[in-house]
Amino acid sequence: MKYYIGVILCVCCIAIHMAFTNDKSTEQLPITLAEQQYTLDYNSFINQLQTFEYVLNDTVISSMHQQYVILRNAYKKIEWLLDYIDPIFVKEYVNGAPLPKIDKSAPSLSIINPKGLQVIDELMGEEQLAIDEIKQQVVLLKTVFHQYKRTEKLYDRIIFDAMRVACVRLVSMGITGFDLPAGNTALPECKTTLSSMALYLKFYENNASKAAKNDYKNTVSLLNKSLQFIKPDVDFETFNRAIWIRNYINPLFAQLLVLKNKLGIETIYESTPTHIRFAFNYEATSIFSAQLLSADYYFNIPTDVNKTALINLGMTLFYDPILSINLNRSCAGCHQPEKGFTDGLPKSLASDSGTVSRNSPTLLNAVYAERFFHDLRAEGLDDQLEHVFASNQEFNIDILELMKRLHSSADYVNLFKAAYGKNALINKQQITLAIASYVYSLTGINSSFDKYMRCETSSMSNDAIDGFNLFMGKASCGTCHFAPIFNGTVPPHFVESESEVLGVTSNTDWNNPVLDNDPGRMSGRLKEGAEIYRHSFKTPTVRNITLTAPYMHNGAFATLQHVLTFYNRGGGAGLGLLVPNQTLSSDALNLTELEMNKIIAFMEQLTDSSGLTGRPVSLPLFENKDWNNRPVGGNY
Amino acid sequence: MALMALTTAGFAQIPFPVKIDTSWSVKTVWMPKSPLTYQTLFVGGTDTVQTTATYGNNAGNTLAKQWHDFIGFTPETDPVKIAAGELGWVTVNHEMTIKNDRIGDGGGMTVFKLKRKTGNELEIVPMTTNDGRNGKFINIDFVNTVGETGMNCGGIVGVDGRIWTAEEWMQNSNSALSNNGNNFRDTADFIIGTTAPAGFPGFNGRTIKRFQNLNWFVEVDPKQGKAIRKQYNWGRAGWEGGVIMSDNKTVYLFDDNTPGLLGKFVATTAGDFTAGQLYVHKAGAPNNWITIENNLDTLIALRTVALRRGATMYTRLEWGAINNNTGKIYVTETGNDNPGTAFRNGAAAAGTIPPHLVEAYKKRYQEINNTTFPFSDAVAADSVRNGAFRDFYGRVLEIDPTTGIVRTFLEGGPFSFSSTSTGVASYPNIHFSNPDGLNFAYIGNKTYMFVQEDLNGRTWNRMPAEYQNGTQTICEGFLLDMSIANPTFNDLIRITACAPGAEITGGIFLDSKTMLANSQHPDGANTFPYNNSLTYAISGWDGIKTALDEYALNKNTNAFSAYPNPVSNELTLNKVTDVAVYDMKGNRVKVLRDVEKVNCSDLTPGMYFLMNTEGQKIKIIVE
């Protein structure tokens, strides 16, 4: 039992340190106290790793599980700060997804094996514990935490921004069990995070006692209520997430900003060079609003253009078949506004004959992504156009030819002038920027679900509420379709687009499943041509899903019932197919028919294309009169 | 009590008032305009290149490819044209692979001719090739000459401005090459020497797999806009850069891989690189080099063969240059966060750990454990081999051509500058990570190394302090005064911080006035033209000398004061402190914590106030 002595010593040190901290609290600045607390919590996590390593040497399985819970709680105390200060460190070494990934810094294809807490969680979920493998992961973590130097001092701004980001992390990941591939302790861990935040918030009590007394009290009250709502015997499947978020966490998110501003604490925008943009909008007052993310982060319109005129030009081009070589097709063929900017077909029609290889995805809220196309090959909204122009199944047009055409229309010349002023050139860059700007404008985060969560409406059907709770809980939908956009852009920083291997089948004959043979992301980018990306596809948004049938990259599932059934069976691997790198668990979800219908009832509340479906009345005129009777939107 | 805490605590923070009274009369500091001017020359995807007949198309034109990387420069030699201001031909690599009916599949290269108009202003003059193409931008024809090319990354500017392009991204199969026909459509076997003049003495008629025809150095003729030959006798690897010595015989070759090779080729006859002897570096071998026979199969499998023979394993060699004053060669070793498996596999083949990594590992060990490495160098080398040394920052290496000894010239970092036990960190003002581009500038009587970062990651302190909060990667460009003995990262002077997500590459000085650089693969969300690959000129380097000298002279006081450095657009404060910047009306516009430098590049010209934690103010006028 010798190895326990070190641990006990460490615990004593912490106790002494705490006493010391409390004595001085009356005369120390909040941030000094926060610094001390964070150092304490950080070292405590290292100590718990150490203890866990000792316990793994023992033979008592139950004490391993006990210590594992303690270890996770120690991590949850620091996660909200650590992941704010250095999210890449957390992702690469501490709590990244337990999947192999490509080393982006390597000059040739190189796969990094997963490491960290999520790998440990998977291992701890096994019936026969692989002690050596667990220990190896623990030692790795311990080493890296020992080596890792804090890169930034804490500032008041960081404490408050980190708490607000933590609210989003709790909503989009914490309550879904995102980082617990095998465990079921997600909700108690949410409590640990909130308790830790409450501790740090208390350091500001004296500062707030003058100008911000009530705002401080309101913030503490919301924090306490959100804690109390998670009962000690909380059940992962029945916890009412919708009410918890709506009544406590979303208001807390807003209230923390009020308090921070009252305290005179600077904004992140004042602390960072202005050309650095953030996806997360640090001035947002609700998680369920278009404010939360800055569309300008994903697609930045230059300041020297007329934005309204640019979007108008883009809209005109979007519906104009002048873009295709035979003047037949426009963007609006495959992306029809009435169908949520899809075409209702399993695979879009090719311009010559047959179909293109994949299903047309919605453009609504498309801007909130890092990468585009089902295989993630394009990097920006405007990068996509080149592929459509060049494809002989789509517009099949040389951009130089298109430039020549547009130059020959006085109407278009004027539209470009209105948008770009004296810099109007009608070149590839300006054409694609305009169309992409129109797509950028197609955002709608005012569905009846959003309004309910923002307390702008007083109720939503019980089925939809149950559906949301299932979506975010038992059915695990929310672990990939992240709230609040419900797409694969990873919270809480929202700077990376995810793709998943689901093992999608080529039809809905579940008894004789056939794996769809599209290689997906593996054949997207040269530098991503790895086996781990075979059949991997971008996670689309489920917003407006009732408008966008049929579903999946191949359009093989005609109804949402098909989609839910597929997931309920554990995807391709769950159906018995060989899908070596499936990232979806192959376990059945055990959802009942009623539960699946409730999830659909929830998703039906996510529709908002209001004000976005208008088509231009007419198209610009050309000198070539033959072109002037082309229909708005072309033929499809 | 609160006040006392403020003054005693080393890192006291107070919120700066949102608004202040600006009627105070305080000392004024002027931030002059930078002497450097920027001019965009060549924008990928926007400018049009003249093309030869390819894939069934006649000669014509199309939009240039993107992903600009290496820049080569071939000086004009005709005295009449020189007198008219014509400088020479600029070649730009496109580090990508994509099919293109007019340019050809894979990557490519574009050439254009530069002329100096007046002062700092440059212009591109149209050029005509023997095959009848005429225009501002000419596509270098690889399709009809050497069988296409891919991922044109680095390259070499040889004696008399001869240009080689290098194909970095290592290809190991035709299917990876093709990527379903998106990158290369032609995957038929390649027969060397069927298209004149692209053959190679000794290897003509040999049939190789298509992917084996990639990852070579390729010589091009900038003036005629076409490739000359693939340099099969220099071996096949993930070549990134190289240098050719003034003897016009000796070539040093840099392999961007972990483990990466350091190669050397010595031509039999000066200027004729089709015959000679190839070597690979092995520290400790006789003369520190091992010889490689001129056998096509060996050359195709160069890395495997060399490792089997004990070659020294580097962590990603990138670009190099010769210091004309000393004849020594400097090459960037960019580093690798996860060298574990890569080194283990290389070592299994018999590759050896370079002595400088052993030293770097021992230093890291000391920083982490506060005690010197207690074991032998052999044990340290074992640890490096097993992946224990995460080479987060990389370094600049110096090669002594007379001895073949390679040593660390400038180590990246720092790794350790804070103490977790107190939780206090003083973030470094200068942090040097993952160097990539490297070149020399000779300004006045000074020699500067210009070195550019291409960050492998954002964590482990690699981002500049003021960008820490961001989610975008910022790469910096630095100057180093070569007269400094045993330089460290603290001697670097920051010149540029590139557009978010962009890599600054290709930095090459045309003369003491102008440097050409590329912004390679910027964030698509940047504004035009900074959302495209572009080649631009940074001129006015002859004017920076005074700025740098002033900067060096003026820093020595205790009073709250700020000294402007117009080159980096930064104010240097007399000490590390918290400061707020207020506009003329007294509204708070910036709050910077624990800084020694205030970056003014995002302040619109005008008057500002700088206030520190003690409430002392300075007036700043940004020109």
Q: Cβ contact (<8 Å) for B590 and A527? A: no
Is pLDDT above 70 for B409?
Answer: yes
Cβ–Cβ under 8 Å, residues A192 and A77: yes
pLDDT of residue B555: 56
How far off is chain B from A429, nearest CA to CA, in Å? 6
Distance between CA atoms of residues B238 and B316, nearest Å: 9
Q: Which residue of A has its CA nearest to B415?
A: A149
Does residue B603 form part of some domain? Answer: yes
Is pLDDT above 50 for A242?
Answer: yes
Give the rounded distance of the alpha carbon of A33 from its chain centre. 33
**Three-class secondary structure of residue A139 per DSSP:** helix
Q: B589 to chain A: which residues are within 8 Å by CB?
A: 270
Torsion of CA A599, A603, A604, A608, to 10 degrees: 170
Q: Cβ contact (<8 Å) for B62 and A429? A: no
B11 at the A interface (CB within 8 A)? yes
A422 at the B interface (CB within 8 A)? no
| Among B388, B303, B294, CA closest to B340 | B388
Confidence of residue B414 (pLDDT cuts 50, 70, 90): confident
Q: A153 to chain B: which residues are within 8 Å by CB?
A: 11, 423-425, 427, 593-594
- By DSSP bridging, strand B60-63 and strand B217-221 are unpaired
A297 at the B interface (CB within 8 A)? yes
Does residue B573 form part of some domain? Answer: yes
Closest partner residue to B179 among A86, A157, A526, by Cβ?
A526
Q: Cβ contact (<8 Å) for B459 and A86? A: yes
Does residue B597 form part of some domain? Answer: yes
Q: What is the mean pLDDT of chain A?
A: 92
Average pLDDT over residues B353-367: 93
**Three-class secondary structure of residue B566 per DSSP:** coil
Burial of B160 by CB count in 10 Å (0-12 exposed, 13-18 middle, 19+ buried)? exposed
pLDDT of residue A338: 96
Burial A397-419 (b: 16+ CB within 10 A, else e): bbbbebbebbeebeebeebbbbb
User: Which of the given ranges, A53-62, B420-429, B500-509, has the highest pLDDT on average?
Assistant: A53-62
pLDDT tens profile A359-385: 999 999 999 999 999 999 998 899 899
Q: What is the mean pLDDT of chain B?
A: 87
Helix (H) or strand (E) holding A244, with range, is helix A241-244
Confidence of residue A558 (pLDDT cuts 50, 70, 90): very high
Q: A276 to chain B: which residues are within 8 Å by CB?
A: 467, 469-470, 472, 474, 500
B169 at the A interface (CB within 8 A)? yes
Confidence of residue A51 (pLDDT cuts 50, 70, 90): very high
Burial B460-498 (b: 16+ CB within 10 A, else e): bbbbbbbbbbbbbbbbbbbbbebeeeebebeebbbbbbb
Q: Cβ contact (<8 Å) for B422 and A39? A: yes
pLDDT of residue B542: 84
pLDDT of residue B5: 33
pLDDT tens profile B24-65: 777 888 888 888 888 899 998 889 999 999 999 999 999 999
pLDDT tens profile A406-415: 999 999 999 9
Question: How many domains would you assign to chain B?
Answer: 1
Query: Mutating which of B257, B593, B595 best tests the A interface, going by the most A Cβ atoms within 10 A?
Result: B593
A398 at the B interface (CB within 8 A)? yes
Average pLDDT over residues A32-37: 92
Distance between CA atoms of residues A440 and A295, nearest Å: 7
pLDDT of residue B420: 41
Q: Cβ contact (<8 Å) for B169 and A526? A: yes
Radius of gyration of chain A (CA): 26
Q: Which residues are CB-neighbours of B339 under 8 A, at least 6 positions away?
A: B258, B315, B384, B387, B389, B390, B391
Query: Mutating which of A78, A110, A115, A153 best tests the B interface, going by the most B Cβ atoms within 10 A?
Result: A153
pLDDT tens profile B369-389: 889 999 999 999 999 998 889
**Residues 431-450 (A) with a CB less than 8 A from some CB of B:** 433
Q: Which of A435-449, A513-527, B20-34, B347-361 has the lowest mean pLDDT?
A: B20-34
CATH number for the domain that contains residue B584: 2.60.40.3080
pLDDT tens profile A76-90: 999 999 999 889 899
Does residue B575 form part of some domain? Answer: yes
pLDDT of residue B552: 56
A465 at the B interface (CB within 8 A)? no
How far off is chain A from B461, nearest CA to CA, in Å? 6
Confidence of residue B277 (pLDDT cuts 50, 70, 90): very high
How far off is chain A from B203, nearest CA to CA, in Å? 28
Q: A148 to chain B: which residues are within 8 Å by CB?
A: 460
Q: Cβ contact (<8 Å) for A153 and B342? A: no
Does residue B473 form part of some domain? Answer: no
Q: B569 to chain A: which residues are within 8 Å by CB?
A: none
pLDDT of residue B424: 40
pLDDT tens profile B100-153: 889 999 999 999 999 999 888 999 999 999 999 999 999 999 999 998 998 899
Give the rounded distance of the alpha carbon of A607 from its chain centre. 19
How far off is chain A from B225, nearest CA to CA, in Å? 22
| Among B298, B354, B211, CA closest to A108 | B211
Domain with B604 in it:
567-622
Distance between CA atoms of residues A294 and B489, nearest Å: 36
User: Which of the given ranges, A217-221, B489-493, B495-499, B565-569, has the highest pLDDT on average?
Assistant: A217-221
B369 at the A interface (CB within 8 A)? no
Q: Cβ contact (<8 Å) for B459 and A151? A: yes
Average pLDDT over residues B297-305: 96
Q: Cβ contact (<8 Å) for B457 and A383? A: no
Cβ–Cβ under 8 Å, residues A558 and A552: no
Distance between CA atoms of residues B193 and A14, nearest Å: 75
Burial A532-559 (b: 16+ CB within 10 A, else e): bbbbbbbbbbbbbbebbbbbbbbbbbee
CA separation, residue B304 to residues A350, B301, B313 (Å)? 46, 6, 12
| Among B561, B336, B574, CA closest to B456 | B336
Instruction: Tell me how far apart the terminal alpha carbons of chain B are, to the nearest angstrom.
Output: 43
How far off is chain A from B526, nearest CA to CA, in Å? 6
pLDDT of residue A14: 41
Cβ–Cβ under 8 Å, residues A471 and A598: no
∠ CA(A503), CA(A504), CA(A507), 5° rounding? 135
Q: Cβ contact (<8 Å) for B5 and A28? A: yes
**Of residues A226 and B178, more confidently modeled:** A226
Q: Cβ contact (<8 Å) for B470 and A276? A: yes
Confidence of residue B524 (pLDDT cuts 50, 70, 90): low
Closest partner residue to A156 among B1, B13, B590, by Cβ?
B13
B55 at the A interface (CB within 8 A)? no
The pair of three-digit structure tokens given for residue B524, joined into one six-digit string: 């698509």
Distance between CA atoms of residues B581 and A155, nearest Å: 17
Distance between CA atoms of residues B72 and B109, nearest Å: 10
Q: B176 to chain A: which residues are within 8 Å by CB?
A: 526, 529
Is pLDDT above 70 for B320?
Answer: yes
How far off is chain B from A296, nearest CA to CA, in Å? 8
Confidence of residue B470 (pLDDT cuts 50, 70, 90): low
Q: How many CB pairs under 8 A join A and B?
A: 212
Q: A156 to chain B: which residues are within 8 Å by CB?
A: 13, 15
Q: Cβ contact (<8 Å) for A379 and B590? A: no
Q: Cβ contact (<8 Å) for A277 and B415? A: no
pLDDT tens profile A567-593: 999 999 999 999 999 999 999 999 999
Q: B11 to chain A: which residues are within 8 Å by CB?
A: 31-32, 35, 153
Per cent of chain A over pLDDT 90 is 84
pLDDT of residue B2: 34
Burial of B317 by CB count in 10 Å (0-12 exposed, 13-18 middle, 19+ buried)? buried
Q: A107 to chain B: which residues are within 8 Å by CB?
A: 168-170, 238, 240, 256-258, 316
Is pLDDT above 50 for B4?
Answer: no
**Residues 477-496 (A) with a CB less than 8 A from some CB of B:** 493, 495
Does residue B215 form part of some domain? Answer: no
**Of residues A345 and B602, more confidently modeled:** A345
Confidence of residue A16 (pLDDT cuts 50, 70, 90): very low
- Beta bridge partner(s), residue B227: B220
Q: How many helices (H) and strands (E) does chain A have?
A: 25, 4
Q: Cβ contact (<8 Å) for B461 and A39? A: no
Confidence of residue B177 (pLDDT cuts 50, 70, 90): confident
Burial of A460 by CB count in 10 Å (0-12 exposed, 13-18 middle, 19+ buried)? buried
Q: Which residue of B has its CA nearest to A386?
A: B45
Give the rounded distance of the alpha carbon of A433 from its chain centre. 25
Q: A154 to chain B: which residues are within 8 Å by CB?
A: 423
How far off is chain B from A384, nearest CA to CA, in Å? 11
pLDDT of residue B544: 78
Q: A265 to chain B: which residues are within 8 Å by CB?
A: 15
**Residues 107-146 (B) with a CB less than 8 A from some CB of A:** none
